[in-house]
Chains A and B, each alone.
Chain A
Amino acid sequence: MKKEFRVDTALYSEEALGLAANVAGAGAAPGKRGKVSIEAEDPEAAFREFMNEALSQQCRIDLVKRNFKASQLILTNALVSALGRKNDAGGGK
């Protein structure tokens, strides 16, 4: 069964909805202006699952923005150190 739902685009970004659709699989398809089409045996239940994932993705996206500096510093250092290049954190055990 196919059903269309509407999501508040002030809360959920296109990116979060797209990622949630990717996790949910072929049954979920976000459209324009917050429309989400769900094709499943129980579309209501599938939509709840979809929104759960969308919420998780949106929280993560917001968190990435908030912690960007610290996170990027650690990741860049880890990758640069793995290449054996000198970095501020030292390295070369």
Chain B
Amino acid sequence: MAKKPGANAAAPAAFQFRRLAAGGVLVTNDFGGRAFISDRDFLMYSSGRLPASGKAYDALAAGGFVRDRLDFETLAGKWRSRNDSVFYGTGLHIFVLTLRCNHKCAYCQSSVTGERAAGADMPLSVARKSVDLAFQSPRKAITIEFQGGEPLANWDVLREIVKYARTKEKRTGKKLTLAMVSNFSLMDEAKAAFLLENEVSLCTSLDGPESLHNKNRTWSGGNSHRETARWLKYFNSRHDSQHDLKYRVFRPGALLTVSRLTLGHAREVVDEYAARGLEEIFLRPLAPIGYAKKRWQEIGYSPEEFLEFYEKALRYILLKNRRGVKIREKFAQMLLTKILKSEDSGYLDMRCPCGAAIGQLAYNYNGDVYTCDEARMVGWSGDDIFKAGTVGDKYEDIIAAAATKTVCAASSLESQPFCHRCAYKPYCGVCPVVNYEAQNSLWGQMPSNHRCGTLKGLFDLLFGLLRDGDSRAVLETWVNAGAKR
């Protein structure tokens, strides 16, 4: 039984803790405070017997762990800064312009249909209503992201809606960012020119070197990797040579989806990204949602398998950085932004409550509106539990919808057994959609939750690396680079 705190001892404030594999204990609190202390100091601290002086005491007092040394104003400011985006309304609006796609990817989560499927495109009238709905968000800066399927397959609507949105931007005074995720296979010079002139930032999928990419991303019309690489080079060159233009050209981005095929190729995928001049690589684990859920036995993996791959890749990226190659891993960057800077990294899946509806909305090709893109994929399989309305509704109705309130409540870590006592709670978030798909419950069960296992492993790795001076120095440069989603 713990003794009562002595007069010269540090009385513990609220904290969570985790024993680290390398020894010692990580102590965190809801304000984002963190301290590494020895096992002995932790025993003393948690039982209220840690002397009110010394290195461990100073570290704990500075982090907001000592009851009579709490500076509530500063701590509240830190909490606020780390959870900033929760309080500004829906910023990301994902438009699924079509379900059609010419690729047949091994893991495709976008719920696509074939290239020639009828009735799978977003009509212009629905696209306009979608823009009108997005602009009803109270947020002063919004992003509209075009996705699919392959959004270029519905080019006429894409072109018109870019013009319509830009006109609306001028009329309303909101700051509008336009983005498109495309496989580039339907890109041509005229389309590229239009997209650049309208400042649409471009992102593609690059799953590694040619053989790996083409195995993951099958395209009967040609060599997917070659087209992706060609257009990456084109847009990179346009970015580097922009002078005296009336518009900004953004550097193209790329996303990597880790399938089972990727696991043995950690170094190769990093080398591929570096060779293509990409300064960022996002090692995204596969989520067992929609189509990927159906093929999980073939393409999925355990959290341990992913973490082994991730650690190899991350350590290799750190090595490359020390050798002067400029490349960051995005997952680590986003988590470290919360850990080291106490700022919201803009990563919607790692908020409390999660970013569903209050941070992002997904507008399906047929006008249905879902709380997030993953929720739309669940809708594709015939379950509309996460449908918040349609593009004909008012924005207020979407936010007041039962689906919105449900995902908000279900993603509150204050109500999650295990999460509310987890040392990584200040930096983490749960996804009710993934829980629902994987464990048949909005809340899931964290001890056997695939996503939780992966995230815990990532945090363990990152906190381990932060104790190593060389790694920490590189990781801090990534955080300061601070690119937000």
Contact = CB atoms under 8 A, between A and B. Distances in A.
13 contacts: A57-B443, A60-B416, A60-B443, A67-B414, A74-B83, A79-B358, A79-B408, A81-B88, A81-B358, A83-B399, A89-B87, A91-B87, A92-B140
B139 interface: yes
Contacts of B352: 74
Top 7 A-B pairs ranked by shortest CB distance?
A84-B138, A59-B417, A71-B414, A93-B88, A67-B414, A82-B358, A81-B87
Interface string B74-104: 0000001001001111100000000000000
Interface string A45-86: 000000011001101100110010011001101110111100
The interface centre, meaning the residue of B138, B352, B415 with most chain A CB atoms within 10 A of its CB, is B415
A64 B419 CA distance: 13
A7 interface: no
A90 B87 contact: yes
Majority-rule SS of B interface residues: loop
Contacts of B416: 60, 63
Contacts, number: 87
A83 B89 contact: yes
A63 B405 contact: no
Interface of B: 80, 83, 86-90, 137-141, 352-353, 357-358, 396, 399-400, 404-405, 408-409, 412, 414-417, 420, 439-441, 443, 445
A52 B405 CA distance: 26
Nearest to A81: B87
Nearest to A60: B417
Given A23-B440, A71-B412, A78 B86 contact: yes
Nearest to B445: A56
A71 B415 contact: yes
Nearest to B417: A59
A70 B83 CA distance: 14
Contact of A77 (B87, B404, B417, B443): B87
Interface residues of A, number: 29
Contact of B408 (A23, A75, A83): A75
Contacts of A79: 358, 399, 404-405, 408
Contact of A93 (B80, B141, B408, B420): B141
Contacts of B353: 74-75, 78
A56 B415 CA distance: 11
Contact of B415 (A63, A77, A81): A63
Contacts of B414: 63, 67, 70-71, 74
A19 B410 CA distance: 14
B409 A67 contact: no
B138 A23 contact: no
B221 to A, nearest CB: 42
A92 B412 contact: no
A78 B87 contact: yes
A64 B410 CA distance: 11
A52 B417 CA distance: 13
A84 B89 contact: yes
The interface centre, meaning the residue of A23, A70, A75 with most chain B CB atoms within 10 A of its CB, is A75
